[in-house]
Structure formats: structure tokens, C-alpha cells
Amino acid sequence: MTRPTSITTLPYRPNVGLALFNKDRKLLVAQRADLPGSVWQCPQGGVDKGEDLYHAAWREMEEEIGTQNAVLLGEHPDWVTYDLPPHLLGRALGGRFRGQRQKWLVFGFTGTEDDICLDVQDPPEFTAWKWLSVQDILSGNYDLGFKKNMYETLLPELEKIFQDASASKDWTRTSLA
């Protein structure tokens, strides 16, 4: 297989993003273990060849935060793309992709905080996690790394999807236990 000669000809990696909200309407964000500083993001991960988005989302949730105690409430209507910054091109994502093409799914968390476990993978992808309001995440007090612009647009839209779904059904009474 011939590798593309230009970064702009590299494809986007298929990916699923997880917007996991708790009963207090706060979003789970986690601190990346593999980036310098204190970079925070929502759980996300690649979609394997032949895997559907929903299976990928549940798999990634289990792999990254150690639980599937959630209910799917909705999804963002569009695919969202982001490009890797120049210093990561050719290194991140196996050097085969220019960035990621993501489908974002919105979940309501039905478990307890004890259900969240970051050391399911070896090495873990995250070192810490928090429940934060979208406003707190976007306040500038949290480093969102090179995905900052994407999150500034995306998080309010995901919060709206969550709020609309929460108004139409009482997912908080759902329990997987």
C-alpha cells in the first residue's frame, strides 16, 4: 500500500465521542495520561473495522472508564472532524491519519462514582476524572489541548441534546444493577 505524500490526503480516523452526563447535569471529563501538562477531554475512541458506532461507544466506555452503567439518550446529528496539530502528524494515531472524524453520542450515567475505574487498560488513558458543568469546562480553567476549538462549539450542542432528552424521559430512574 502506498502512503499518501501530503497530509491533506491522509484520511480521518473513524471515532466515537462519549458525552456522559450525570443526574446533576454535569459532564464527565478525564485528564489524559499521555500528554504533557493537564489536558482534559471526554472519553472517545476509534471505531474498529466492521464495528458499528454503538458497539464502539459501549466498548470504549468500558475500556476507558471501566463501566457501562449508562443509558443512551441521543446523538449529535453531524460528524465532527478535527486535525492533529503539526507536531503530532506522522506520530499520533499510528501516523496514518490527519485527525479524527467523530460521531458524538450522549449518555446519562446510571451508576455510582465507585463504578468509574480508570485503570482498566494498561497503561490507562486517563489519570483523573471529574464531573463538571459545560460552563466550567469551557471557562478556561481546564486545558482542552488542541481540541479546544472543537469543544467550544460541540459541548453546548451536546448539552442541549442531553437537556432535550432529559425533558422527554426520566432516564434517572434507569438502573443497570
pLDDT of residue 34: 85
pLDDT of residue 174: 57
pLDDT of residue 6: 60
Residue whose entry in the numeric block shows the C-alpha cell 500500500: 1
pLDDT in tens, 52-89: 999 999 999 999 999 999 999 999 999 999 988 887 77
Q: What is the domain extent for residue 104?
A: 9-169
pLDDT of residue 176: 42
pLDDT of residue 2: 46
Instruction: Give a yes or no: residue 81 inside a domain.
Output: yes
Average the pLDDT over 20-25 and give the result. Answer: 97
- The whole-angstrom separation of Cα 119 and Cα 11 is 31
Instruction: Give a yes or no: residue 1 inside a domain.
Output: no
- Mean pLDDT for the chain overall: 90
Q: Which residues contact 19 (CB under 8 A, 6 or more apart)?
A: 27, 42, 104, 105, 106, 107, 155, 158, 159, 161, 162
Instruction: Give a yes or no: residue 177 inside a domain.
Output: no
Instruction: Give a yes or no: residue 131 inside a domain.
Output: yes
In this structure, what CATH number is given to the domain that contains residue 72?
3.90.79.10
Instruction: Give a yes or no: residue 174 inside a domain.
Output: no
- Residue 52 cell numbers, joined: 458499528
Instruction: Give a yes or no: residue 3 inside a domain.
Output: no
**60 or 170: whose pLDDT is higher?**
60
pTM for this entry: 0.90
- Does the structure show a pLDDT above 90 at 44? yes
